[in-house]
Amino acid sequence: MARRRDSYRDDQWDDRRDSRRNDYRDNRQDYRRNDRWDDEDDLWNEDPRDRRAGAPKKKSAAGTFLLTLLLVVAVGVFAFSGYKLLGFYKDYKAGSDEYKELNKDFASEEKEKTSEKTPQTNGPSTLTDVTQLENPDTLPKLIENAVHETATENQETKSLPTLVNPVDFTQLQAINPDVIGWIRVGAVNVSYPVARAQDNDYYLHRTFRKVDNFAGCIFENCDNSPYFTDQNTIIYGHNMKNGTMFGQLRKFSEQETLDKNPYFWIFTPNFIYQYRIFSSSIVGTTGDPYSIRFTVEDYQKFINDAFARSEINCGNVSVTPSDRVVTLSTCTGDSSTRRILQGVLEQIYIAK
């Protein structure tokens, strides 16, 4: 009887053990099945860059759309930039072509010259070639031998040498009545008409023919006298990257540029003004260089400061509080500074 009970107890334990084994086996299969699905979920949720080599890669619809959008935007930016560059090029060319045409038609150098290069020496004669008047050593003798006439300039009666005017102001005034002069800076081949408007914005981006163009026009400060009689007359021009307008003034940071030719000229219908360069410098956008009238003391300080800050040696040039100065101003690429070239009026001629 005892053996039967023991045998029955052993059978129960065996059944329980088998049941636990079966449960464990079933649970392990469930665990493996769940782990496999978890792994697959992780595979599709992970960053594609983190997948193992050989693992399946798929691009989501959102990723494909984003890449396409970025490509379209990049192409659009490139096309727009090309369009803007083409517009700038056209503006540069249109402005350059206009001023080349004006020079050819109304300021021909041939009008400055006679058939003989040197002036006549057998008697006084009207001067004809401004290039012969750009040597400080020979200038006084040439002026002495020139024909002189009496004229009233800046409310003063003066005996002045005569000089053939190379600029046709009759035709220029027919094109644009705002013209007040023509500027020539021989050392850097600057040659442009000078306009004057009611404000300093009008000609910033309008050419002499009043065509909208980034190059604009050379223009006088609207607060200055159109007759160049102020203590400091300011003339503005853009610093164009292709060297047009006042873009060449940057070369006056080099001594050799001044050494080639220390003068610039302003031609007007009745008088021709010759200026001796005495300072080239970088200045702020405001202050004395942009003032036009001074007390005697302030004007002397203006002159002293101009000499002191000059980047180059302009030689022994005399500038006094009774003199008249022209300041040529252009930008530098730095919005807080400007480049200026300053000249003192050395000689006035009667235009013929």
Question: What does the domain layout of the chain look like in residue ranges?
Answer: 87-108+160-351
Please give the single-letter amino acid code of residue 164: V
Averaged pLDDT for residues 327-335: 96
Is the pLDDT score of 25 beyond 80? no
Task: Report how far residue 96's alpha carbon sits from residue 241's, in angstroms, rounded to the nearest whole number.
Answer: 12
Task: Give strand pairing partners of 236.
Answer: 219, 329
pLDDT one-digit tens code per residue, 245-297: 999 999 999 999 999 999 999 999 999 999 999 999 999 999 999 999 999 99
Regarding pTM above 0.85, the answer is no
Task: Report how far residue 343's alpha carbon sits from residue 232's, in angstroms, rounded to the nearest whole number.
Answer: 10
pLDDT one-digit tens code per residue, 150-186: 999 999 999 999 999 999 999 999 999 999 999 999 9
pLDDT at 287: 94
pLDDT at 207: 97
pLDDT at 66: 80
Are 265 and 274 a contacting pair, CB within 8 Å?
Answer: yes
Angle, vertex CA 318, rays to CA 147 and CA 314, nearest 5: 105
The helix/strand count (H/E) of the chain reads as 6, 10
Is the pLDDT score of 3 beyond 50? no
23: pLDDT confidence band, cut at 50, 70 and 90? low
Q: Is 123 left (phi over 0), alpha (psi -120 to 50) or beta?
A: left
Please name the CATH architecture into which domain 87-108+160-351 falls.
Beta Barrel (2.40)
Task: Report how far residue 230's alpha carbon sits from residue 105's, in angstroms, rounded to the nearest whole number.
Answer: 31
